[in-house]
Amino acid sequence: MRCPFCNHENSRVVDSRPARNGRAIRRRRECLSCEERFTTYEQIEEFHPMVVKKDGRREAFERRKIIEGILKACEKRPISVNRVESFVDDIEKYIQDTGSAEIDTRAIGEMVMAKLRDWDDVAYVRFASVYKQFKDLQEFMEQLQELLSRDQSA
């Protein structure tokens, strides 16, 4: 494993532990040249289906894109990165369990919106405004009214 600090090729493992709900191994390494420490993750390379976009295009599933979208919606909200990553782990497991060669972005988006609705109303509205592509203030207000009526009935 190359050191990200000095590019030296040899390092030693200082600590290993399970990560991502046992689906990966987190390793702390120390470079044998500069003695800096860094973290690596080892995980099984899994098959992911193609993601079918709204316009019909297909592209490879990218965990990073889902995490970035959720984190953007959760910016300055009380939701930890670990919580987001754990949720994305669940999405990946669901996709793996379906065994399907393709998954629609709508299915992924609906899972994310349902979770954000449970976690934080502001994060939910932020994500929904991008995902649903509100065209005007009226659509935005309708979404807010739906949230308000749900909160009042609870």
Q: What is the pLDDT of residues 11-24, one digit of tens each?
A: 999 999 998 878 78
Q: Is residue 5 part of a domain?
A: no
Q: Is residue 88 part of a domain?
A: yes
Domain that holds residue 25: 11-43
Contacts of 32 (CB under 8 A, 6+ apart): 8, 10, 11, 12
pLDDT score recorded for residue 141: 80
Distances from the Cα of 70 to the Cα of 52, 61, 111, angstroms: 19, 15, 11
pLDDT score recorded for residue 154: 61
pLDDT score recorded for residue 135: 73
Residues 20 and 76 both lie in one domain:
no
Residues 21 and 94 both lie in one domain:
no
- The candidate with the shortest Cα–Cα distance to 14, out of 43, 40, 33, is 40
pLDDT score recorded for residue 21: 78
For residue 64, give the amino acid letter. Answer: R
pLDDT score recorded for residue 1: 85
Residues 25 and 77 both lie in one domain:
no
State pTM to two decimals.
Answer: 0.64
Residues of the chain with pLDDT under 50: none
- Please count the structural domains in the chain: 2
pLDDT score recorded for residue 150: 74
Residues 114 and 65 both lie in one domain:
yes
pLDDT score recorded for residue 93: 86
Residues 39 and 55 both lie in one domain:
no
Residues 65 and 95 both lie in one domain:
yes
Residues 118 and 135 both lie in one domain:
yes
pLDDT score recorded for residue 44: 76
Q: Is residue 4 part of a domain?
A: no
Residues 111 and 129 both lie in one domain:
yes
